[in-house]
């Protein structure tokens, strides 16, 4: 992909590490208090799931505790399903131990209108009742249409609606990087 570079490969790595530290701090994951709630990361496919997996590794590396990892396909929960082209269902995987009473962190690559996250909240409801739900995104590009905000943001990028963010991740694209381009 071309366009203006917003995050280099090493920026992406640093950003994921920073969010991992912030999640540890905000969830007190490294406290040794007995009975402290479980932390569960749930990625929104496709790249949100990959980011959630990377965050899980980093959180384990920094805190010694490995959060459970799941992924939630929100296709069925979208309120604009009929106006969007059909795409195959992506996998939902329920994290080990479920989400009941857990501190859930939803993870996605780009936050835009907020409709995907709203749909994910609907989807979570079918999996159980978490103690709390927080949101981590690599990029917040603005243009919210719902009262939704992220608790952990890699980078805020003011965009016009005509612009588009490319999120490249090694697992999918052969390298890491984030770019801004005109549609």
Write the DSSP symbol of residue 64.
Answer: S
Nearest distance in Å: CB 29, ligand 5GP: 25
Alpha-carbon distance 77 to 161, whole Å?
A: 24
176 in contact with ligand 5GP (CB under 6 A): no
Nearest distance in Å: CB 180, ligand 5GP: 9
113 in contact with ligand 5GP (CB under 6 A): yes
19 in contact with ligand 5GP (CB under 6 A): no
Can you tell me which of 13, 37, 98, 114 binds ligand 5GP, judged by CB under 6 A? 114
Nearest distance in Å: CB 30, ligand 5GP: 29
Give the Å distances, CA to CA, from 1 to 36, 165, 167. 44, 10, 9
Residues in the chain: 183
58 in contact with ligand 5GP (CB under 6 A): no
Peptide bond into 46 cis (omega under 30): yes
63 in contact with ligand 5GP (CB under 6 A): no
Q: State which residue, 24 or 168, has the beta carbon closest to ligand 5GP.
A: 168
Nearest distance in Å: CB 56, ligand 5GP: 19
Nearest distance in Å: CB 64, ligand 5GP: 31
Alpha-carbon distance 81 to 74, whole Å?
A: 10
H-state helical runs in 36-163: 47-63, 115-125
Alpha-carbon distance 14 to 22, whole Å?
A: 12
* CB-based contact 70:41 (threshold 8 Å): yes
164 in contact with ligand 5GP (CB under 6 A): yes
Binding to ligand 5GP in span 69-108, by CB under 6 A: 108
Q: Which two tokens stand for residue 166?
A: 């490319």
Where along the sequence are the contacts to ligand 5GP (CB under 6 A)? 44, 108-116, 141, 164-167
């Amino acid at each position: 992909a071309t366009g203006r570079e917003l995050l280099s490969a090493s920026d992406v790595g640093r950003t994921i590490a920073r969010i991992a530290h912030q999640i540890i701090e905000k969830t007190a994951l490294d406290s040794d208090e007995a009975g402290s709630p479980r932390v569960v990361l749930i990625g929104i496919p496709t790249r949100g799931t990959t980011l959630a997996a990377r965050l899980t590794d980093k959180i384990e590396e920094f805190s010694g505790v490995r959060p459970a990892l799941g992924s939630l396909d929100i296709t069925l929960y979208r309120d604009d399903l009929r106006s969007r082209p059909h795409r195959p269902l992506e996998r939902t995987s329920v994290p080990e131990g479920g989400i009941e009473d857990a501190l859930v962190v939803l993870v996605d690559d780009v936050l835009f209108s907020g409709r995907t996250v709203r749909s994910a909240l609907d989807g979570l409801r079918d999996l159980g009742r978490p103690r709390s739900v927080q949101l981590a995104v690599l990029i917040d590009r603005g243009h919210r249409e719902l009262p939704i905000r992220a608790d952990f943001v890699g980078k805020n990028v003011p965009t016009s609606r005509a612009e588009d963010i490319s999120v490249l991740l090694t697992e999918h694209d052969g390298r890491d990087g984030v770019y801004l381009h005109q549609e």
